[in-house]
Amino acid sequence: MMKAMILAAGRGERMRPLTDHTPKPLLSVGGQPLIVWHIQKLAAAGFADIVINHAWLGEQIEAALGDGSRFGVRIAYSREGTALETAGGIATALPLLGAVPFVVVNGDVLTDIDFACLRPTLAALDGRTQLAHLLLVANPAHHPAGDFGLLPDGQLSANAADGIGLTFSGVGLYHPALFATIPPQQPAKLAPLLR
């Protein structure tokens, strides 16, 4: 069974004052909350179990989405209290995600990706030599340096100046083994694990 996680714990500082009273993933985009777009696209791609972490105003997220049945999915919540950064939030949610690879989507991005096309790559994550697969995009104007460098052989460099600089899209595929060294409920950033 394919599982996905939507990251929704952040405070949304750059979106203030909009996020002072509404969690960022519940802000309306195109007539519905941003997070609902993710849930609908994940459901359409066959991801029936979705984990959502939350901290800031998390009770609003649970009240708005419920158990997921109206979207045709099952939603489980990973309550953080205070945001644990990306890797810390994922590590804390691992008991809900299980032992197989999963998709993670930042709750504050808007994407048109067909998540179904990720299934073969997700299945290839073996937990030994293949721990993660990141979806990268061309560098936006506000981040011209990028996050990673795409090398001629298709591999990534942690140095964006190597090869073609690209930016992380906010969508990644991960094997649980990537987070094995991170204790639950401890803040941890994702970038050091990937570099």
State the residue range of the domain holding 80: 3-134+168-194
**Residue 25, domain member (yes or no):** yes
Separation CA 82–CA 19 (nearest Å):
16
* pTM (two decimals): 0.92
Residue 25 CB partners (closer than 8 Å, separation 6+): 6, 8, 33, 34, 35, 38, 61, 107, 108
* pLDDT at 15 (0 to 100): 72
* pLDDT at 124 (0 to 100): 93
Separation CA 114–CA 97 (nearest Å):
21
What stretches in the chain show pLDDT beneath 50?
none
Separation CA 163–CA 149 (nearest Å):
5
**Residue 161, domain member (yes or no):** no
Q: What is the CATH number of the domain that holds 39?
A: 3.90.550.10
pLDDT tens digits, one per residue of 116-134: 999 999 999 999 999 999 9
**Residue 54, domain member (yes or no):** yes
**Residue 146, domain member (yes or no):** no
Q: Which tokens belong to 114?
A: 């067909």
**Residue 119, domain member (yes or no):** yes
Q: How many domains does the chain have?
A: 1
* pLDDT at 126 (0 to 100): 92
* pLDDT at 162 (0 to 100): 85
* pLDDT at 26 (0 to 100): 92
**Residue 104, domain member (yes or no):** yes
* pLDDT at 39 (0 to 100): 98
* pLDDT at 145 (0 to 100): 85
